A and B are shown apart, each in its own frame.
Chain A
């Protein structure tokens, strides 16, 4: 089945540092990846849609200069949280559609970011 590998699983960093999260689609090509953020006891919130070979589409209220998304290949998308602050501490999850047009998403395992 379709698998999305996401790393790191968790990271603790100091305020002001940048953190990169990677998502790789295994055994399938993901032309589109979605990046979500989930705060405790809240729903998943779509941050941005990452398209291979083009600029990501950010949701309203998400700073594109703070959350840098790169989707340079059909199997890899990265999210970099720049100059992280404690309020950026959250659970970040990527997902991809296994097949074109399908609405079922395959999720990465998530990355729990804690900014001290």
Chain B
């Protein structure tokens, strides 16, 4: 089993819809969690950190479920520009960041 798993997608979603996807992690000692966004042939860019209490940034909401060992990302009112691959990153010890393979999201007009 991979340490960090994501559904590769692609998720094809109409513009304006709400979409959510999860990322599961295997190490219960994982300490911090992040969502990164990666556009095709570009470097990853931090989208948001994920806190235990959940956090929201505009149309994006991230949540952590420690009991079930997954984090989620919800995008409301999706825009065409949201099309990208969303990478889940888990840190379970200092300097050890484990990356998921990403979930590809395609927003269609």
Contact = CB atoms under 8 A, between A and B. Distances in A.
Interface of A: 6, 32, 34, 41-46, 49, 91, 93, 103-105, 107-110, 112
B43 A103 contact: no
A35 B25 CA distance: 23
Interface string B29-46: 000101000000111111
The 5 tightest CB contacts between A and B, nearest first, are: A107-B43, A43-B101, A43-B99, A44-B99, A110-B43
Most buried by A among B4, B43, B100: B43
A42 B42 contact: no
Contact of A44 (B8, B42, B87, B95): B87
A23 to B, nearest CB: 11
A32 B97 CA distance: 14
Nearest to B41: A112
Interface residues of B, number: 19
B8 to A, nearest CB: 7
B49 A44 contact: no
Main secondary structure of the interface of A (DSSP, over half): strand
Given A43-B102, A44-B87, A104 B42 contact: no
Contact of B42 (A45, A46, A110): A110
B49 A104 contact: yes
B50 to A, nearest CB: 11
A46 B41 contact: no
B46 A108 contact: no
Interface string B1-33: 000100010000000000000000000000010
A6 B42 CA distance: 12
A103 B93 CA distance: 10
Given A41-B8, A112-B41, A103 B91 contact: yes
A32 B94 CA distance: 13
Contacts of B43: 6, 93, 107-110
Of B32, B34, B97, B101, most buried by chain A (CB within 10 Å of CB) is B97
A105 B97 contact: yes
Contacts of B44: 44, 93, 107
Given A104-B46, A104-B49, A91 B100 contact: no
